[in-house]
Amino acid sequence: MKHVLVIRLSALGDVAIMAPLVKAYAEANRDVTFTVAGPPLLEPLFEGEANVHYLGLKKKQSFIKIYKALNAVGADTVIDLHRVNRVGFAIITLRLRHLFNPHFRIFALHKGKVSRWFYLHHLWRKARKPQYVRYDDVFRHAGLKCNNALMCKCVSVDVPNTDTITQSHNSAIVGVAPFSQHEGKIWPWEYTERLVLMLAERGRKVLLFGSKEEAPQLEALAVRHENISSVAGRQAFRDELEIIKGLSLMVSMDSANMHFASAMGTPVVSIWGATHPDFGFYGYGQDRANALCANLECQPCSAFGQKPCRYGDYRCLRAITPEMALEKIESLLAEK
């Protein structure tokens, strides 16, 4: 094995989970070259190891284009952590091309099926294997070796002169990322406002994170107190990662920001609604005790939070109050 191609084209959080894992295996297998095929945005997460290269690849293109890009890498081992049809067709084409090459091997993630009991009652729920462990199983099955201590390493992003925001405040700096892709994973906005203002009034520096589309709403909240600032849409992703690395902790939904913070070694207080931390997508290396989840009988109602609430009120999210989140945040800051 000389060259390993690791494929995961989405979602952002699932790709971010890979970063510490890939870098740990790269450090433990210096004689192997790793090429990661993933979203172009996330390239900074995989920098720092000389034998790790990144192939920015958009998922919404034909399998022929994906095949051509993957074939150009020239890898002798493929690790498919995505397992979707478009990528699958490209890999099958790669297999046919190397049909008579005994050294060309393919290993794929076993997604598994979720028992229907998982959705019926939290007392019967059996926690799924964390996603990063499922990824690790594929690497080990491929014959790669890694010291478990290396897997605890966080991503290092070397960006000079981008930490002025975090170093200019003497108090604890709390990041808040209040949005997610699906409504079932977004805390009520009035709860976010209340928590942010309570933190600011206690002298905490609060940095708001979000996309360019969410920036106006976050800016409107930021102007309400001098201790609140918004970095949404203002920084390149590489710079934003460095800011996250300098936080005391991050408050996040079940979203990509939770995984970005986890990759940077920043503690996360996560808020869960339609999904559940036991489903396997909890932040890499995070303390499970810092996940705020109501554990209602209807929870979780979906794997990714995309299904509408059967009651129409997302009571799972409303059951977690700003005061509960504040108590958890303050207890963690006191420990630090």
Q: What is the pLDDT of residues 72-129, one digit of tens each?
A: 999 999 999 999 998 999 999 999 999 999 999 999 998 765 554 444 444 445 567 8
Beta bridge partners of 28: none
Give the pLDDT confidence score for residue 304 in this predicted structure: 84
pTM above 0.75, yes or no: yes
Out of 225-239, 277-291, 310-324, pick the least confident: 277-291
pLDDT in the model for residue 165: 53
Residue 62 has pLDDT above 60, yes or no: yes
pLDDT digits (tens, 9 = 90+) for 44-56: 999 999 999 999 9
**pLDDT, position 124:** 41
DSSP 256-270: HHHHHHHHTT--EEE
pLDDT at 150: 59
Above pLDDT 70, what percent of the chain? 88
Q: Is 103 exposed, middle or buried (0-12, 13-18, 19+ CB in 10 A)?
A: exposed
- pLDDT (0 to 100) of residue 251: 98
Q: Looking at 58-67, 148-157, 184-193, which range is the least confident one?
A: 148-157
The confidence score (pLDDT) of residue 280 equals 83
CA angle 232, 271, 221 (to 5 degrees): 35
pLDDT, tens digit, 9 for 90 and up, residues 129-183: 889 999 999 999 999 999 775 565 555 555 444 444 554 445 799 999 999 999 9
> What pLDDT does residue 273 have?
96
Q: Strand, coil or helix: what is 318?
A: helix
The 10s digit of each residue's pLDDT in 215-265 is 999 999 999 999 999 999 998 999 999 999 999 999 999 999 999 999 999
Confidence class for position 34, pLDDT limits 50, 70, 90:
very high
Q: Which of 70, 65, 63, 82 is nearest to 9 (CA)?
A: 82
How far, in Å, CA of 53 to CA of 37, rounded? 9
Kindly tell me the burial class for residue 298, based on how many C-beta atoms sit within 10 Å of its own C-beta (0-12, 13-18, 19 or more): middle
The DSSP secondary structure of 187-256, one letter per residue, reads: --HHHHHHHHHHHHHTT-EEEE---TTTHHHHHHHHTT-TTEEE-TTTS-HHHHHHHHHT-SEEEEESSH
